[in-house]
Structure 1
């Protein structure tokens, strides 16, 4: 977006603000998304979501409390690993309809937020291994990557805790990101140049051997 201005007093780190809707003075932005010509959203590592509709001149908070505060209320409800939460997200991804999915820094659970909700909703991970990354499919469902390799897709659309593992040929390397171009076509990228493609919505994946000789990790699909 054109016309971005730094938030803060101009004397230090651009992420530092005196106070923003009651959240801590030191703010670390982990996700920024322009949602229109005059609108944008920003997410902090504490789970604060800020939205603007006037090119960034004014921002309002979309959630009422930090993730740490939410977990303090819900830790007794059975969210495994919530007591070990370090206050930061590992990854954050936004769907076209404005919903968010975030993975805890340890990868032992994940959180979701939909427009209008007052706070993030924590979810137990549905797989044995810790979560590497999560995001949205083009049909509105979720994809999930686990540490050490492994791709899972949620059953149905929308937010779900029911996932099924999808066989992939990653040559033993972990997959780090997935990106959908349409409901049928998507790409997955990972360690040591792993590049996979699906043309049937994720049911089967084939390796693009053109990337086999890339001596580097592919961290993101754009």
Structure 2
């Protein structure tokens, strides 16, 4: 029996099949420049930073009061325990400027060091603080900027003794936030229906609705004023101007995965890496035009939650169950 399809339906099916065939042909990386690093924890790793005075001196933070220290550029890590820190403390963010560092977390946690972490002091935060600390950025001697999970932004210039609001009104619950090179922020609403843009001169958040039928998962900044956006369903979109609100049509590089993309980072102006659930790692050498996958890593039993580069030759992937990967090349292997 012949079945005659309505032409638009045939077109939709043809496009769908083409996308799946293209996805299935995504090449595997011949050499995967990432190496798994053993760490003394099974907890979720959430953020990583290196001091500005000793580039090989690094720190990792995570859930359940996870605080790890490395003295050799991230090859080996040791547990650091801080008296008074609750076992269930959620250490979400860490940042250094020189020898001065900050850790922000929940519930209402703010830690401060002046000597690369040899000593950490706890700074009391006001109980009236809107939301919980989600991100901290060290800015210089005594200066830092903190963002909460409802979009409240505060800045200190005196080592955390006083904080001054940088935004007139918070925006409600957010699940992801990224800071730009000039103090801009991109924040994703908790349900992924909107994203928000903050610029220092505006003192307000500007909302933008999602353009795709799929909810927004995460966003971040790229080189030269660009930005990327990850939607649920393993979609990626780009813009050349993050202030414009105009985005490219979403791409779906890679096969039709049940795992979504969770974070991305530029290694340089053209190399882009994307991580996700089920140990997903894909790479574009040309800013998103072509893609390859690191299938070799798919046997790692963990979701990759974040990826960060501190320079073209220094990068790390963080995930669940104490998963840490280090970028390796001919220069740092």
* TM-score in terms of structure 1 length: 0.78
- Match of residue 276 from structure 2: 190
How do residues 1-222 of structure 1 correspond to structure 2 at under 5 angstroms? 1=101, 2-3=113-114, 5-8=122-125, 17-19=126-128, 24=130, 27-67=131-171, 87-154=172-239, 156-164=240-248, 165-172=250-257, 173-222=259-308
Q: Which has the bigger relative contact order, CA under 8 A and spacing at least 6?
A: 2
The C-alpha deviation readout for 1:142-184, integer Å capped at 9, x for no partner, is 2111112111112x22323222223411551211000112111
- Give the structure with the larger strand fraction: 2
SS state of the match for residue 166, structure 1?
coil
Structure 1 stretches lacking a partner, 5+ long: 9-16, 68-86
Indicate how the Cα distance of structure 1 residues 170 and 138 shifts in structure 2: closer, same or farther if over 3 A, else same: farther
CA RMSD of aligned residues (A): 1.8
Matched length: 189
Q: CA deviation at 1:97?
A: 1.4
The answer to whether the 8 Å contact 2:143/2:156 transfers is yes
User: After TM superposition, what 4+ stretches of structure 1 lie above 6 angstroms from structure 2?
Assistant: none
SS state of the match for residue 220, structure 1?
strand
Indicate how the Cα distance of structure 1 residues 167 and 204 shifts in structure 2: closer, same or farther if over 3 A, else same: farther
The answer to whether the 8 Å contact 2:234/2:252 transfers is no
* TM-score in terms of structure 2 length: 0.53
Structure 2 stretches lacking a partner, 5+ long: 1-100, 102-112, 115-120, 309-333
Larger Rg: 2
The answer to whether the 8 Å contact 2:123/2:160 transfers is no
Indicate how the Cα distance of structure 1 residues 219 and 18 shifts in structure 2: closer, same or farther if over 3 A, else same: closer
- Match of residue 91 from structure 2: none
